[in-house]
Amino acid sequence: MAQIVGGLATSHIPAIGNAIAKGKQAEPYWKPFFDGFPPIHAWLRQVQPEVVVVFYNDHGLNFFLDKLPAFAIGAAAEYHHADEGWGIPTTAPLAGCPELSWHLVEQLTAAEFDLTVCQEMQVDHACTIPFQLFWPDQHPAPVRIVPIHINTVQFPLPPARRVYALGRAVGRAIGRWGDARRVAVMATGGLSHQLEGERAGFINKRFDLQFLQSMETNPEWATQFSDRELVELAGTQGVELLMWLAMRAALTEAGSGVRLVHRNYHIPISNTATGVIALEAVP
């Protein structure tokens, strides 16, 4: 049977793609952000996940306001990165894992989660940047992926409690996958940020640190908030923390608890409070 080795989450700001392309990791602006990653690289070399289920939010590349599923899952053999207009280099396609995709579709449908199944799916910076950050020396990253999109654009958003339930169902389904693979669950986005309107530049450090702590010790903490409350607390794009919640919920199905591998928090990169975390699943 498959085994969940742990969870990863990171912010996914497009400017990171340019910083990587131009080798700016050691510059004073970028160093405090990139310094959050080497302890996680060391852990990944140890646990060597083969497949990554990645919760990410599409930013208008596959889905736009005219048609926007709450949840969608990729079932493709590969996922191409497209030019979104941020001026970042287009990265190599990421390999898919259709066997796990279809297993998840069957299990999640049986568990009453009706995801839009995408046999073709382009991926944006939210999916590509985390793989550049977690596997900086390998392009593309040496893993196969199953992307799961969660709507953070069109209101009403799926409630945090529902997202948590989805994450748990994904965790349970991975545990029932017959392939003896090492699987990691990844989330991308957040932490607090708002790109537009009167509150552009809004960051809420107190809330972010509470949320980061909840990832370790109180995974359901954020499920108390409605979508509007999350906007108030974390900003219009800070709602991307829903991905982190899904990832953490999946880990509750993986064993008796989690061990913190490493976490980092740094303000700001571009308009965003950045966070990164790696949690090992304790059997």
Does 230 help bind ligand DHB (rule: CB under 6 A)? Answer: no
- Which helix (H) or strand (E) element contains residue 149? strand 144-150
Does 271 help bind ligand DHB (rule: CB under 6 A)? Answer: yes
Stretch that binds ligand DHB, among 75-83, 215-223, 228-236, 265-273 (CB under 6 A): 265-273
- Name the DSSP letter for residue 158: P
Write the CB contacts of 64 (distance below 8 Å, at least 6 apart in sequence).
none
Q: How far apart are CA 215 and CA 187, in angstroms?
A: 12
Interior/surface letters 58-84, b for 16+ CB within 10 angstroms, e for the rest: bbebbbeeeebbbbbbbbbebbebeeb
Does 272 help bind ligand DHB (rule: CB under 6 A)? Answer: yes
Catalytic residues: 125, 193
Query: Binding-site residue total for ligand DHB (CB under 6 A)?
Result: 12
| Nearer of residues 121 and 129 to ligand DHB, judged by Cβ | 129
- Name the DSSP letter for residue 67: B
Kindly state the smallest distance separating residue 10's Cβ from ligand DHB, in Å.
Answer: 11
Subset of residues 26 to 65 that bind ligand DHB, contact rule: CB under 6 A: 59
Kindly state the smallest distance separating residue 143's Cβ from ligand DHB, in Å.
Answer: 22
Q: How far apart are CA 90 and CA 106, in angstroms?
A: 32
Q: Which of 6, 7, 14, 158 binds ligand DHB (CB under 6 A)?
A: 14
Kindly state the smallest distance separating residue 11's Cβ from ligand DHB, in Å.
Answer: 7
Kindly provide the residue ranges of all beta strands, DSSP E only, lying in 43-84, ordered along the sequence: 51-56, 71-74, 78-81
| Nearer of residues 107 and 264 to ligand DHB, judged by Cβ | 264
Q: Give 246's Cβ-side CA count (13 Å radius).
A: 30
Q: Which of 13, 145, 247, 258 binds ligand DHB (CB under 6 A)?
A: 13
Residues making contact with ligand DHB (CB under 6 A):
12-15, 59, 189, 193, 195, 237, 270-272
